[in-house]
Structure 1
Amino acid sequence: MHHTIALLNPLGDSGKTTLAVNLAFSFALLEIRTLYVDCTSSGAGSRILMGKHKKPAWGVADVLSGFVGLRGAIVPGCTPYLDVIPALSGEKEAEKFLAFNPEKEKVLGLSLRKPGEGYGRVIIDTPSGNGFFVKSALAASDMALVPLHPGWDRNSQLKEAGHCVDEVLKYLNPDLKGIGFVTLGPSDPVPDEAGMQFVGRLPDCDAVRKGMATETPAALVDVMSPGAQACLDLAREMTEAATVP
């Protein structure tokens, strides 16, 4: 079962947060209790899913640094069945605080272990690159989900994501079960390949664009839009796959 899913694409502006936000919201709409963990530098996803008027006291970096337990950093989301751990402090500060911990990349996974049991899905949004937060997210996850942006070379995106996953599989998380990918924009999904699953597409549509511009999940803009329906279909597919022995 893919309980914890890390969004991964080392290239910037690749659509990770767009997919993470709308997928987390879709799981919640399906009444699957979902935790969204924001490891990005911008914090855009947590702002969208918390609602615009909430001002949380703690974030992911505070959890990793030991200033607060994971439960203490959880903020209720903007819809039932959805909770959020926001991004407030910096990645560099957390990594510096854990500098003498030889297994610092495993701290997030350990922090999520017990509280995460109360959720049907944990979605971890990550920054670009292959730094501390990316490794921490993959070390905590069962699966990496890669949005393939049409503006970047597809093979380069898959290659870079594969390098990240291979490193984590070797040194940090041998239980990471593989890579799934979702094509963004108008193109059809790439053919399925060994070790890759959940081949899908998030269409470029007005509801998705307007949602990101106004910090609103696409389903709240227009639940019948192609983008909102594609995310709901992907959430259903993942849920159905998890029930297959």
Structure 2
Amino acid sequence: MTAPRKPFFPADRSIRASDAPLEIRHLGVVDYREAWDLQAALAQQRAADEIGDQILLLEHPSVYTAGKRTQPEDRPTNGLPVVDVDRGGRITWHGEGQLVAYPIIRLADPVDVVDYVRRLEEAVIATVREAGVEDAGRIDGRSGVWVPADDHRRDRKVAALGIRVTRGVTMHGLSLNCSNSLEHYDHIVACGIDDADVTTLSLELGREVTLDEVTDPLVDALTAALAGDLVVSDHTFASAPDPTKIVARPR
């Protein structure tokens, strides 16, 4: 198992190009395409320095979204539509009861996408552990935040990440499963992974965990991680194949 590689600049330095306070926007339930259009407009404005850094916090109505590396066999078997998007990764599901965060951030030079992703993960790990899932961490080779296997369950993902960086500005971000249903995951190969499962904070803790409970802790952790006040640590507990590395099937 390997720790995240060293960042391009010191881990306790801000990864943001600006030192102005983040603007936090609570948007409620927003259609996925509407939110995507908003992100694109804001990212363009941020690249032109017309606005500052901000984080959008919201929920989506039930929807599948497919990243650039999604394979045909990943797609849903229940006939529901899929939105093909310009983020990395493969297919996932969004819906109510799941907290979504979209940071629109201009990254400092030199732009370090890997370090940015690791900082998002670090913020979610801190949030999930504070909520009570104290063994949450990383699986080397796979993005997101995971809960390790036990005697009865496989490794399972509690938060997914998928990003895009254009002109040094971030789009898309993370989704944290709080109290959402897992039914829709049964009809896809979530994130291209078929040897692990998906979970929610509510399932892990045996009680309902609302978005309100984890929103402020997540905002605080994201702010600290991006600033370098919450330093990325090695929370890796396992390693597994990277689902974004597609291996050609023999003919």
TM-score by length of 2: 0.28
The structure where helix makes up a greater share of residues is 1
Specify which structure has the higher proportion of strand: 2
